[in-house]
Amino acid sequence: MLRSALSLVSLAALLACQSSQPAGTMASSSSASAGEKAAWKPLFDGKTTQGWHTYGKETIGKAWKVSDGALHLDAAAKKDWQTKEGGDIVTEESFDNFHLKLDWKIAPNGNSGIILYVQEDPAKYQNTWHTGPEIQVLDNNGHPDAKIHKHRAGDVYDLIPSSPETVKPAGEWNQVEIISNKGKLEVLQNGVKVVSATMWDDQWKALIAGSKFANRPGFGTFKSGKIALQDHGDNVWYRNIMIKRL
- Residue 33 pLDDT exceeds 70: no
The structural domains of the chain, with segments of one domain joined by +, span 1-41, 43-245
Specify the CATH architecture of the domain 43-245.
Sandwich (2.60)
Element (H or E) spanning 16, and its range? helix 2-39
> ω before 169 within 30° of 0 (cis)?
no
What is the per-residue pLDDT for 25?
35
Q: What is the pTM of this model?
A: 0.84
- In this predicted structure, the answer to whether residue 198 has a pLDDT above a threshold of 60 is yes
Helix (H) or strand (E) holding 98: strand 98-106
pLDDT for residue 7: 42
In whole angstroms, give the CA distance from residue 82 to residue 27: 52
pLDDT of residue 112: 98
Calculate the alpha carbon distances from 155 to 89, 143, 145, 178, 206 in Å.
20, 14, 11, 12, 17
Between 222 and 79, the more confident residue is: 222
Query: Which of 9-13, 32-36, 78-82, 83-87 has the weakest average pLDDT?
Result: 9-13
Q: Residue 52 is inside which H or E element, if any? A: strand 52-54
Q: Decide if pLDDT at 9 tops 50.
A: no
What is the SS3 assignment for 110? coil
Signed CA dihedral, 172, 176, 73, 139: sign only: negative
Does residue 44 surpass a pLDDT of 70?
yes
pLDDT band at 79 (very low <50, low <70, confident <90, very high): confident
> Tens digit of pLDDT for each residue in 129-185?
999 999 999 999 999 999 999 999 999 999 999 999 999 999 999 999 999 999 999
CA distance 95 to 51: 14
